[in-house]
Structure 1
Amino acid sequence: MTASFHATRAHSFNAAAAQYAANRPSYPPALFDAVEDLAGRSLEGARVVDVGAGTGIATALLHGRGAEVVAVEPGEGMAAQFRHTNPGIPIVRGNGNQLPLADACADFVTYAQAWHWTEPVHAVPEALRVLRPGGALTLWWNTSALDVPWIDAQTERIRRHFGADGVVDRNGSGMHSALADPTGRLHFAHRRVRWSRDVPVDTHLANISSHSIFLVQDEESTEAFLAEERDQLLTVFPGGIVEEIYVVELLVATGS
């Protein structure tokens, strides 16, 4: 993936912020239990910086666990949707490569579905700068459960239609880049959390088409794929309710 295409995809969400907020999956309570377990501290009362917050799906859940959360989001459209959805949570414009925050101000720096848009050579030192002693850099991705036959088949159809990069934020590839710590100061713990949700087929299609690889395509190509995909899904789920199954890939890193 070229740098310019990567940037185009990163900015593509702004025009689809409402679609993203309405249809993307959330995260299960067990994920936040795992975060606390691996970090060795509670989210309640913790100062959390949620970077690449998007429309605030994860931010709101962190807030609900009793954390004092500040969101960081680079995109104008996503930030506007965040403010609409989460009017009581502060948000600042910025990105993980250059956080607009003071030194040692956070107990957690979190990235939900967002680390793969950063440049780790910059983002890791920035996270370490912002974290207090004993703080944790916490990264997670909702990834598709590829051991489920219909999900594996759909992922392959997306790959064939859009190319090899079509599932970059659906198969946990961002996790592997995170493990390449440029500072050598991070100690990673890894956990998987499996969960599912049942949604109407049209919600599922709106969910997958809110991913960046869809958003940068021409409308005709996307609509053609979604029409064919709807027919495929209805053969598996004739009642029109899709069971989406996810494996959250969680990394919690503490510094030395």
Structure 2
Amino acid sequence: MTASSHTIRAQSFNAAAAQYAANRPSYPPALFDAIEDLAGRPLSGATVADVGAGTGIATALLHARGADVVAVEPGDGMAAEFRRTRPGIPIIRGDGNTLPLAGSSADFLTYAQSWHWTDPAQAVPEAVRVLRPGGALALWWNTDALDVPWIAEAADRTGRYFGVNVPAEKRGANARVADPSGRLVFARREVRWSRRVPIDTHLANIGSHSILLVHGEEATAAFLAEERDHLARTFPDGIVEEVYDVILLVATNTA
């Protein structure tokens, strides 16, 4: 992916913020248990900055867990949707490459579905600067469970239609990718979970992904119409069971 296409995809969510907020999957409680386990400290009472917060799906869960959380979000549309739906949680504008936060001010920095929009060469030193000694950087992604046949078939269709290797994009979360410098030592864990949603919700979910958002309404509508036909045959009751593996990486700041 070129730098320009990366930027275009990163910015594509702003026009679809309400669709994103309404249809994207959440995260299971077991994920936050795993974060606490790998970090060796509770989220309750911790100072947390949720970076690339988007519409606040993860931010709200961190808040519910008892964290003193602030959201950091660069996008106009996403930040506006966040403020509309999460008025009780503070949000500031910025991104992971230049965090608008004081040094040694956070117990946790969290990136839900957002670390891949940063430049690790900048974001890693920023994380080390902002985290208190012993604080934790937690990165996670909901990824499709590709051992489920219908999900693997859908990923193949998406890849062929849009000319990308979808499984590689979705399964690429590892310590080397997260920090090519090797400065941080990440522990990795996977958490499987699922949700059952109507076909319309599933289609709106996948339609809110950047790979579709940047291809224009006509191409996206044609693809989603084909997907609807496939899903109707696979799920004749109209309810889709989405299965996810949350890939979690946690590193402790030893600086």
Q: TM-score, normalised by structure 2?
A: 0.97
Q: Distance in 1 between matches of 2:29 and 2:104?
A: 27
1:180 CA displacement? 3.3
1:111 CA displacement? 0.1
The Cα offsets for residues 130-171 of structure 1, whole Å up to 9 and x where unpaired, read as 0001000000000000000000000000000011255665x1
2:135/2:252 contact within 8 Å kept:
yes
Match of residue 45 from structure 2: 45
Instruction: Provide closer, same or farther for how the CA distance between residues 230 and 177 of structure 1 changes in structure 2, counting only shifts above 3 A.
Output: farther
1:141/1:172 contact within 8 Å kept:
no
2:58/2:112 contact within 8 Å kept:
yes
Match of residue 198 from structure 1: 196
Q: Distance in 1 between matches of 2:168 and 2:109?
A: 22
Runs of 4+ in 1 over 4 A off after TM superposition: 165-169
Match of 1:217 among 215, 218, 223: 215
Match of residue 32 from structure 2: 32
1:192 CA displacement? 0.4
Match of residue 138 from structure 2: 138
Cα RMSD between the aligned structures? 1.2
Match of residue 113 from structure 2: 113
Where 1:249 maps in the other structure, the secondary structure is strand
1:168/1:174 contact within 8 Å kept:
no
Match of residue 180 from structure 1: 179
1:185 CA displacement? 3.0
Letter in 1 for 2:171: G
1:115/1:174 contact within 8 Å kept:
no
Where 2:108 maps in the other structure, the secondary structure is strand
2:120/2:178 contact within 8 Å kept:
no
Please say which of residues 207-216 and 159-168 is displaced more in the overlay.
Answer: 159-168
The Cα offsets for residues 47-86 of structure 1, whole Å up to 9 and x where unpaired, read as 0000000000000000000000010000000000000110
1:254 CA displacement? 1.1
Letter in 1 for 2:8: T
Q: Distance in 2 between matches of 1:202 and 1:28?
A: 22
1:186 CA displacement? 1.4
The Cα offsets for residues 220-242 of structure 1, whole Å up to 9 and x where unpaired, read as 11101100100001111000000
1:7 equivalent to 2:7? Answer: yes
Q: Distance in 1 between matches of 2:79 and 2:168?
A: 23
Match of residue 54 from structure 1: 54
Letter in 2 for 1:202: D
The Cα offsets for residues 189-225 of structure 1, whole Å up to 9 and x where unpaired, read as 1110000000000100000010000000121111011
